[in-house]
């Protein structure tokens, strides 16, 4: 599923109680990250798994700025070529009051 597909998912009101979203190995990219970050329908998500989804720094930055994911506890961003500066945006991030774990490569980041 590419960014356009993720936009369609994010716009679906039937998914407004979804708890987990796994899109591993899909070319989600910046467009998909923006759709996830801005969706009112994903407010109940506790886990987002975006393992190897072509996010890069730009996609991760968009996610870090989201105010629409208040229940997020676990975020998997492994193998997305995210630099240290952008990884740091997730540390003590007030947009994610319930976050416990953020994974970037093979190690869990301190949040």
Contacts (Cβ under 8 Å, ≥6 apart) of 20:
45, 46, 47, 48, 49
Number of domains within the chain = 1
Parallel, antiparallel or unpaired: strands 101-103 and 108-109: antiparallel
CA-based R_g, the chain, Å: 12
Residue 84 has, within 13 A of its CA and on its CB side, a CA count of 0
Q: Is 75 helix (H, G, I), strand (E, B) or coil?
A: strand
Tell me the pLDDT tens digit for each residue of 65-110.
999 999 999 999 999 999 999 999 999 999 999 999 999 985 556 6
- 1-14: per-residue pLDDT in tens? 999 999 999 999 99
- pTM strictly above 0.85: yes
Query: CATH number of the domain that 46 lies in?
Result: 3.80.10.10
Query: pLDDT at position 59, please?
Result: 98
Cα-based angle 72, 111, 104 (whole degrees, multiple of 5)? 80
Structural domain of 88: 3-109
């Amino acid at each position: 599923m590419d960014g356009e597909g993720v936009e369609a998912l994010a716009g679906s009101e039937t998914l407004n109680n979804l708890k987990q979203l796994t899109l591993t190995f899909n070319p989600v990219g910046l467009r998909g990250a923006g759709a996830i970050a801005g969706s009112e329908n994903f407010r109940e998500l506790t886990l987002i798994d975006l393992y190897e989804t072509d996010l890069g720094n730009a996609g991760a930055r968009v996610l870090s700025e989201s105010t629409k994911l208040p229940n997020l506890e676990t975020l998997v961003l492994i193998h997305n070529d995210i630099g240290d500066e952008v990884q740091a945006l997730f540390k003590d991030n007030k947009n994610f009051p319930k976050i416990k774990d953020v994974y970037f490569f093979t190690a869990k980041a301190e949040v």
